[in-house]
Structure 1
Amino acid sequence: MERGAPGTLYVFRGNYGLPSVDPKCLQLIGITNAVHKMVLDGCDKTFSTLDKSRILAYKHLTHNVFSDTFDLHFWGYDRNNQHLIKQYGEGKHFPFRVIFARRMNRHVQRIVEDLTERDTLAEVLKVGNEAVDSYLEDLSKLLKDKKYLFGDKPSSLDALVCGYLAPIVILEFPNKILQNIVNNHKKIVKYVKMFLQEFGEEYEGVIPSEIPQKVESEKAPLGTVVIAGFIAVSVMVCYGLIHDIIKVN
């Protein structure tokens, strides 16, 4: 993953640029490798055996409750995924922007089909939204008045929970159903924002309040753009000739 300036939206190569349900998605909103370092350094080792077991159990539950529902909110709602596809596509030059959008749409369709194999999107999300709402209430009770879920020290559970919730809390999506569910839990929202401030120090605490208008990217030289366009057109013409889409008299 590439590092960048505050406010940069990071494009995940393996997930084609949309928010990940991994703690790495904290980097989507300007958080650096501090969280990764915290986990890799063994932040859980300072806890008791009992607490370690509880952290592990909560991590499994967090993934089971959040994963499919969050994916469907990102990918399943047309307004959300089209907004994000357009957002990331702005960092690409034509015709690569068009190719990227088609690739993304195919990827989105596969994910939604896999997650709604037996039921409609509305039916799956109704159950998922209720589970998320209930689990956030449980997390609020676990958090109480503590800074982190297990006291005054961050654990890998904090990184995982905030990895899921950070894009929902910070970024603006056209369809706000999931954001409204999360925002109803004021204590959790405050906790996520404090976590982001804590691990955003390398960027001087800069956390964007909304999704930037453009993905930061280096402008390609004009010559590169012209050559790329020529190659793309040539490939399309050859394809048309091979498949008799284009006929030469």
Structure 2
Amino acid sequence: MLLSALQAGWLSSLLSRTGSTAWSLPALKTRDKGTISKTQQIITHLRKQKYNADYDLSATQGADTLAFVSLLEEKLLPVLIHTFWVDAKNYVEHTRKWYAETVPFPLNFFLPNCMHKRHVERLQLLWGDGYMEDEEKLEKELYRDARECLTLLSQRLGSQKFFFGDSPASLDALVFSRLAPLLKAKLPNGKLQQHLKSLQNLCNYCTSILSLYFPWDGGDPPAGAPRPVGAEGGEAEEEPHKRRNQLLSVVVGLAAMLAYAFLSGIVSIQRGSAGPAARQPIAMEEEEEEEEE
């Protein structure tokens, strides 16, 4: 119990110090409210800042948005969680490996397993007690519903550039956030991925958004891309803080490992006696030397 509390406190401390947002995604870092990590709170915050992608939508289009959002959350999201976090082959060979290589030390040793456990518990809450009784049957039903959801999205999109014409709306952002990882990830077990790849207009849709809004595909921006004013100075100022955070992470990691070693009994401290018994072997050696003389 004490060890679990130590580990939880340690992870929380490291996350706050390193500024990591991997524990809760999506995340938006703001100047006045810190980091916002819930989707609806992010949308509400952006709308207050006059960023509203649904401003020009009609009432019918707004109703369609709500219907498709509900469909995605109910039919597609649970299967995506299962695909990336519960399927043993995908989790071990892709998801855990990716997080372990991306998340800074020492979080990469603990964070993927914590997230895995949290997602498994989430699916158990969504699927109920039947999840443990007949997992194989339930999995088939859920994957069938997810394939139907993708087919409906494909039919609704048709040959359009976005779901409501030539401009993206909040539905486009949500659909892209669900489909792009599934399309681009190199999954060893890609049952749902294969169905998505068979829907050519959805594949073209994701590829088009990537080329429009992520032209460098997550890498370094092109040489001609504009850089924020004072970016170089900001990097120089952040370097000492970055090193300090890394040092703190290592120190806290070592402290946690030592605490675990002491609590589990792997390491113990024994005090040697300084009494007569401890000096007895020396006295015996002196006696032997006298006898020899």
> TM-score when scaled to structure 1?
0.68
Mapped pair 1:42 → 2:56: no
Mapped pair 1:182 → 2:192: no
Structure having greater relative contact order (Cα 8 Å, sep ≥ 6): 1
Contact kept, 8 Å, 1:76 with 1:121, in 2: the verdict is: no
Shift of 1:11: 5.3
Contact kept, 8 Å, 1:85 with 1:104, in 2: the verdict is: no
Mapped pair 1:146 → 2:160: yes
Shift of 1:180: 0.7
- Change beyond 3 A, Cα 1:22–1:125: farther
Mapped pair 1:60 → 2:74: no
Shift of 1:41: 2.1
Alignment gaps of 5+ in structure 1: 1-9, 24-35, 210-217
- Change beyond 3 A, Cα 1:127–1:206: same
Structure 2 counterparts to residues 1-249 of structure 1, below 5 A:
12-15=22-25, 41-82=51-92, 83-92=94-103, 95-116=106-127, 117-119=129-131, 120-200=134-214, 205-207=215-217, 232-242=253-263, 244-249=265-270
> TM-score when scaled to structure 2?
0.59
Shift of 1:208: 6.3
Larger Rg: 2
SS at match of 1:44: coil
Q: Residues of 1 paired with 2:55 and 2:255: CA distance?
A: 58
Q: Percent identity?
A: 22
Q: Residues of 2 paired with 1:152 and 1:89: CA distance?
A: 39
Deviations 1:116-157, CA, capped at 9 Å, x for gaps: 531344323211221122222222222222111122222211
SS at match of 1:45: coil
Q: Residues of 2 paired with 1:198 and 1:125: CA distance?
A: 36
Aligned residues: 212
Shift of 1:167: 0.5
Shift of 1:228: 5.5
Contact kept, 8 Å, 2:179 with 2:206, in 1: the verdict is: yes
Shift of 1:237: 3.9
Contact kept, 8 Å, 1:142 with 1:149, in 2: the verdict is: yes
Alignment gaps of 5+ in structure 2: 1-19, 28-36, 41-45, 220-238, 271-293
SS at match of 2:168: coil
